[in-house]
Amino acid sequence: MEKKIKAGVVGATGYAGAELVRLLLGHPQAEVAAISSVSFEGKALSEVYPAYYHLCDLPCGTQEEVVDASDVIFAALPHGLSQDLAAECAAKGKAFIDLGADFRLKSEEEYKQWYGGEFKDKNLHEQAVYGLPELFRSEIAGKRLVANPGCYTTAVPLALAPAVKNGLIETSGIVADCKSGVTGAGRKPTQNTHYPDLNEGFSAYKVAAHRHTPEMEQTISRLAGTPVKLTFVPHLLPINRGILATCYAKLRPGVSKEQILQAYEAMYEKEYFIRLLPQGRVADVKNVRYSNFCDISLHFDSRTDTLVAISAIDNMVKGAAGQAIQNMNLIFGVEEQAGLKIVPPAF
């Protein structure tokens, strides 16, 4: 039998870390070798998440133990905590996939502006590749340091990529109106995620000031071949999982609905994880839960010549852990869909 990839998860007791473990447990060519957690060191993961009882009873060790035991290390940590760990992994020849924001932005100036930090090892940042496989697959394969995109920064670029890349929409005035389930806020409770405040509520937050903005602009600018700014407004939904990104963009003069549809079909027809929905259907977070799918529906306002591209993903899977495993598969040259052929529940 072929040797399995030994995967380690640093930050295994956070939502993204726990989701990584869940998906890795079902991966045919990988196994969970070690896990760590500062908050629950010494405790079994199944003590923190009883759903994993007898499935993953591994104790939470130290970061050093995870690095030494693993071929690939997933870091599910807050921003600012991954750079030293990435350097340690590089020194030991281990693959490193960062689910945080430390390696996503190419501009150190933007990282300072939005995250208040600096690049500790500029050479390491130059080696990092951006892990959105459907857009940058060829750059990810075989690499050792991958910056895994977050949820909004996956949903929005995938919704707009074919239109942007083919020059079919204006690059000014793009609006990304997005909604997220509460797991996107992380496991640590805050006042706005407290049940009485969240339940039966629906509100925007960090309006036009969210840290994912420069990351989205970086990806879309790269596709467009020119600097692009967009207006991004996130909202918090009273549900556990899901990202719904409703993106508005003006069609360029003379661009037809048929051209848009052809561009999306050509770009995504061979993408297993992207489901371009038939005309008349609308993307819904309910239909992608627990899966690595991104559903996209396209709509046209003929009165204003506006494209409305809507994408739906599970923020914990395609927006975090599932995409990270997709990147692992590319790094190690195994089937890209391995461990991720999960059918969403129908109800």
* Residues 292, 340 contacting (CB under 8 angstroms): yes
Query: Is there a contact between 8 and 41 (Cβ–Cβ < 8 Å)?
Result: no
Catalytic pick among 56, 60, 89, 151: 151
Owner of token pair 């995967």 = 7
DSSP 261: H
Q: Could you give the 3-state DSSP secondary structure of residue 278?
A: coil
Distance of CA 176 to the CA centre of its chain: 16
- What six digits make up the tokens of 234? 């996130």
> Cα separation of 75 and 324, whole Å?
10
SS3 233: strand
E strand segments, the chain: 5-10, 30-36, 60-61, 72-75, 95-98, 129-130, 145-147, 174-180, 203-204, 230-236, 243-250, 274-276, 294-301, 306-313
**What single string gives the DSSP state of each residue in 174-228?**
EEEEEEE-GGGG-SS--GGGSHHHHTT--EE-STT--TTHHHHHHHHHHHHTS--
- The answer to whether 247 is a known catalytic residue is no
What residues are labeled active site?
151
